[in-house]
Amino acid sequence: MKKTGLIIIVALLALVGGIMAKEFLSTAEKTTPAPLPDFNLPDVAGNLHSISEWQDKILVINFWATWCPPCLKEIPEFIALQQQYAAKGVQFIGIAIDDQDAVEDYLVSTKINYPMLIGGVNGIALAHQLGNSVDAVPFTLIVDRQGQIIHRHPGEFSKEQITEIISPLLK
């Protein structure tokens, strides 16, 4: 009987902890618009790119890593969304918080139709500067055409969630 009571208490604590974590993460998603600062990162070929190259577009900036299963799960959806919305001014940008060799190896097997930048350790600091206060991977920002960060999303981001946020921006 004592074992059953202990299991119930542990389960209730886990439930309360899960609810609190969900509330914390959903609060982190609510974003007060803030300007996206200019930054430069190299692509896999070593060419330096400024984020301002994509000004006047709706940006979906995704911080990810090759060792992160939720990150790899998102990428096919991002590829599909990039294809679907490119003509409407939506630009996905991947920022790998990984080393260049790991990203190059991954890109051999996965053809990505959006720019892939290498952030490495600096990418972690950049994500934190842009609002990743929980140091989540993946971490995704949505930036409107005026260059304002309008949404921060720690953790996995579904196609449906992204569509819900960017659809009003397309009008």
Backbone angles phi, psi at 130, to 5 degrees: -85, 5
Q: What ranges in 60-157 are assigned the alpha helix state H?
A: 69-85, 100-109, 120-129
Res 16 pLDDT > 50: no
Q: What is the pLDDT of residues 48-107, one digit of tens each?
A: 999 999 999 999 999 999 999 999 999 999 999 999 999 999 999 999 999 899 999 999
CATH topology of domain 33-170: Glutaredoxin (3.40.30)
Average pLDDT across the chain, whole number: 87
Which of the 8 DSSP states describes residue 46? S
Average pLDDT over residues 142-171: 96
Query: Which residue shows structure tokens 């294809």?
Result: 83
Encoded amino acid at 156, one letter: E
Query: Comparing 2-6, 26-30, 71-75, 77-81, which segment has the lowest mean pLDDT?
Result: 26-30
The CA-based angle 54-107-71, given to 5 degrees, is 75
- The average pLDDT across 24-40 equals 73
Backbone angles phi, psi at 78, to 5 degrees: -65, -40
Q: Could you give the CA distance from residue 157 to residue 6 in angstroms, rounded to a whole number?
A: 35
Cα–Cα distance measured from residue 171 to residue 155, given in angstroms and rounded to the nearest whole number: 27
Nearest to 103 by CA among 75, 82, 83: 75
